[in-house]
A = this chain, B = another copy of it.
Amino acid sequence: MASFKISDELIGRIETLIEEKNNHELTQLLGDLHYADIAEIIHELAIKDGVYIIRLIDAEKTSDVLTELDDDYRDKILENLSAKEIADELIELDTDDAVDIISELSEERKTEVISYIEDVEHAKDIVELLRYDDNTAGGLMAKELVKVNENWNVLKCVKEMREQAAYVTRVHSIYVVDDHDVLKGRLSLKDLLTTSTRSEVKDIYIPKVDYVYVTDTAEEVAHIMSKYDLEAIPVVDEMKRLVGRITIDDIVDVIKEGAEKDYQLAAGITNDVEADDSVWKLTLARLPWLLIGMFGGLGAASIINGFQDAMNKYPILLIFIPLIQATAGNVGVQSSAIVVQGLANNTIDGAIIKRLLKEFLLGLINGGTIAGIVILVSHFAFQAEYLVSITVAIALVTVIVNAAVIGTFIPILLHKRGIDPAVATGPFITTSNDVLGILIYFFIAKNILGF
């Protein structure tokens, strides 16, 4: 299947149809498309046209479209819909998706929307989910699941399940609970279909079941589900009562967003931005890191300025500043990226000291290689004095070892203190290594050349 591609023609045609209010043709055209594709199209339209489409098409389809829209764009669409219209969309959705959509509304508006949801159970579930933090198992889970009581027999199970399944898009597992709703285990559909209808659930269920607590972080849930290849996992509260279920498609989003966030942090972009965002939003996300880099650069300037003597006596030292700086930056980013990824994958264990020693050794090997080449180039190509070449070589090795050790140490330290280690990657580590690298360079030069 070729991946769906939006053409400018398609967008143009849809805009014309909206202008002409040709609802018949518009419904037909969009009716054939997947909701994810309609969402892609809407992103290319003006808000008022997006609202037009949402109003035109059945809530059954547009509710899914809404879940696919970018938060910013969706909030603008919602501003143009009445509370009743929003409620009609929510009714079509699983509780987790419904909560995602209304979580950004004002308290007042939320209350109004919920008052329009006639199905009291659905409304109750949404209100319950609203109180969980976005970034926890509670914030990810849906209330829709299939559960049976351990005291039921198979016949009753099948009957009850049929009813419950009507509300559940995909039945992954049948969970078994006791009279207090405490999670006891799970039932396989196969067993259920092949055992006598008189068997009791408590005799056939599988007591071994993976679960997470409502307060577990989204990252923990993602780690467990992907490690154990689970397609769904039940969520329990502090009393181990079954309160919800998380499915793998939500986890795919968590994994993608987590990877994107780390990537952006490493590249020095603070907010979650996309290429299509406004210049203003992109500036807000990019300028802060550039300013940090700027202060680093000014710091470096004042260090160099402080070594006026060196500048006068050995001007050739200055031509190697970019080399020292670039090398320090590159090594620091490499080291920190490996650690950050290891922390994200839970593969960093054992003593810190052992890891730092390893980076030290790595730094010596890489530094030695680079210093060796540079000493030759500096001697033959730049005709540098013997002692100057030695200075540059020793500085390079020191700077590389230092950057490797710092790049490894800082993320581990942040992680231990409960801070996301990814903030220590990118410009932050580059800038500090830049400044430190130049300081080391001049310090070594001063000692060897003695100015």
CA of A253 to CA of B225, assembled, Å: 12
Question: If the complex has contacts A213-B1, A248-B248, are A228 and B301 also in contact, measured as CB distance less than 8 A?
Answer: no
Contact with B along A262-279 (1 / 0, CB 8 A): 111011110001111001
- Pick the interface stretch among A16-24, A114-122, A142-150, A340-348: A340-348
Complex CA distance for A346 and B2, rounded to whole angstroms: 13
Q: Once the chains bind, are A341 and B249 in contact (CB under 8 Å)?
A: no
Chain A 271-302 interface residues, beta-carbon cutoff 8 Å to B: 273-276, 279, 282-283, 286-287, 289-291, 293-294, 296-298, 300-302
Segment of A75-83, A126-134, A330-338 engaged in the interface with chain B? A330-338
How long is the Cα–Cα vector from A84 to B121 in the complex, in angstroms? 57
A322 and B297: CB pair below 8 A?
Answer: yes
Q: Does A191 contact B (CB under 8 A)?
A: no
Determine if A334 and B269 form an interchain contact, defined as CB atoms under 8 angstroms apart.
Answer: yes
Report the nearest B residue to A330, measured CB to CB. Answer: B293
Separation of A40 and B291 alpha carbons in the complex (Å): 42
Q: How far is the CB of A253 from chain B (nearest CB, A)?
A: 8
Partner of A1, one of B224, B273, B290, B302: B224
Question: Given that A3-B223, A370-B290 are contacting pairs, would A434 and B333 also be in contact in the complex, using a CB cutoff of 8 Å?
Answer: no
Mostly helix, strand, loop or mixed at chain A's interface?
helix
- Cβ B325 vs Cβ A325 within 8 A: yes
Point out the residues of chain B lying under 8 angstroms from A210, CB to CB.
Answer: 1
Q: How far is the CB of A45 from chain B (nearest CB, A)?
A: 14
A259 on interface, CB distance cutoff 8 Å: yes
Other contacts beyond A293-B330, A312-B315, A322-B322: 8, CB < 8 A: A264-B341, A279-B361, A279-B362, A294-B323, A302-B319, A311-B315, A325-B326, A326-B434
Task: Provide 18 A-B residue pairs closer than 8 Å at the C-beta atoms, listed in order of the A residue.
Answer: A1-B210, A36-B227, A231-B248, A248-B252, A264-B337, A266-B267, A268-B334, A269-B334, A269-B337, A274-B342, A275-B342, A287-B365, A297-B324, A298-B381, A300-B323, A304-B322, A305-B316, A326-B431
